[in-house]
Structure formats: C-alpha cells, structure tokens
Structure 1
C-alpha cells in the first residue's frame, strides 16, 4: 500500500470519529429539558457568587516581576 492511501484512510477514520463524538454530544444536549438547563445555570451562577473577586489592581511587586517594571518604577517615584 502506498503511504498516501494509508494517510487518506486515517483521515477518513478521524473524520468519522469526530462526527460520532459530535453527534453524541448533540444528543445529550437535546435530551435536557429547559428546566434542567435553567437549574444547571443557576447552580453555576451560585458557584460563581461564592468565589470572592480578587483585587483587580496588581501590587508593585507583581509589576516588578512582570513586564510592567517601568510602571512600577513610576509608581515608586510618586
């Protein structure tokens, strides 16, 4: 067998496997009722509300360690 023939067969097998995985996930998604989807979204939202937001401003040490060392130097001057 020529290598191109094997490569083509492997490509076809990959396409078929990908299609099977996508079809399975689509079936699982369509099996959910709107109430199930709503309940899952509420669970995710509640989980996100439980996690506190980190401080959005980086510290001077973080700026020095990263690419913003010039900014850190400017902040120290003030």
Structure 2
C-alpha cells in the first residue's frame, strides 16, 4: 500500500510540473504580441463575428 502512495505522489508532482510548463509557454506566447498585433486580432475577430451574425 505504501508503494501506491509513492506513485500517486509522483503522478501529482508530474502533473503540477506539466501544468506549470503549459502556463509558462502560454505567458511567453502572449507576451510576444505587440499592441498592434492585439489590435489587429481584435478587429479581425469583430469582423468575423459580424459576418457570422449576418449569416
């Protein structure tokens, strides 16, 4: 039974580490955008939403 708890603990540590890696990757990707990139993406999303609304 003791071995089971070790594996569960190890799985928890691996899960937390993987989650941290995903968060860090997402932060880097978002930080790479310039304000003009963000503005252009928002305008594109608005145009797409308006086009979908008309259909």
Structure in which a larger fraction of residues adopt helix: 2
The runs of 4+ residues in structure 1 deviating greater than 4 Å are: none
Two-structure CA RMSD over aligned residues (Å): 1.2
Matches within 5 A, 1:29-68: 29-52=30-53
Report how many aligned residue pairs link the two structures: 53
Aligned to 1:6: 7
TM norm structure 1? 0.64
- What are the ranges of 5 or more consecutive residues in structure 1 without an aligned counterpart? 54-78
Aligned to 2:25: 24
User: Looking at both structures, which has the greater relative contact order when contacts are Cα pairs under 8 Å and sequence separation is at least 6?
Assistant: 1
Larger Rg: 1
- What are the ranges of 5 or more consecutive residues in structure 2 without an aligned counterpart? none
